[in-house]
Amino acid sequence: MSRPPLPPFTRETAAQKARMAEDAWNSRDPARVALAYTEDSRWRNRSEIFEGREAIVAFLTRKWEKELDYRLIKDLWAFDGNRIAARFQYEWQDASGQWYRSYGNEQWEFDEHGLMKRREASINDIAIAEKDRRFHWPAPGPRPQDVPGLGDSSF
């Protein structure tokens, strides 16, 4: 299975890969998201470490059962060869209605077919008031083209 764009990445193809990941995650469809990873993909997400597509689907299912009304923006940070670094922010609310903004960085490594074989994510959550939300497009679904990325937004 091939998942273009393929490494080695250019600035344009690395940014395209980040946007494709953002769109997939905003679908909140664990099975769809997992197809972008190798069968034996290794993940570190916060304090969890696991391997394989089945574990990815289980993780994302748990995540989106807890993180309600999830909306994500990812931006390319750096790239080299078959590796991409991305930064991201996402907003979500818990079952009690408390909103959060999560800030993070990811390092990705891809195989020759464009599938991610390694993902490492560091993430911090900050409780926010609903009036302080920034991401308001309909969910689940991709960020509309007229909604800007993170750009130079401050934390």
pLDDT in tens, 140-153: 999 999 999 998 66
Low-confidence stretches of the chain (pLDDT beneath 50): none
* pLDDT reported for residue 36: 98
* pLDDT reported for residue 155: 52
* pLDDT reported for residue 92: 98
* pLDDT reported for residue 151: 80
- In contact, 90 and 71? CB cutoff 8 Å: yes
| Annotated domain spans of the chain | 11-132
Count CB atoms within 10 A of the CB of residue 20.
17
- In contact, 137 and 144? CB cutoff 8 Å: yes
CATH architecture of the region 11-132: Roll (3.10)
pTM for this entry? 0.95
Closest CA to 43 of 59, 27, 28: 59
Closest CA to 115 of 46, 17, 24: 17
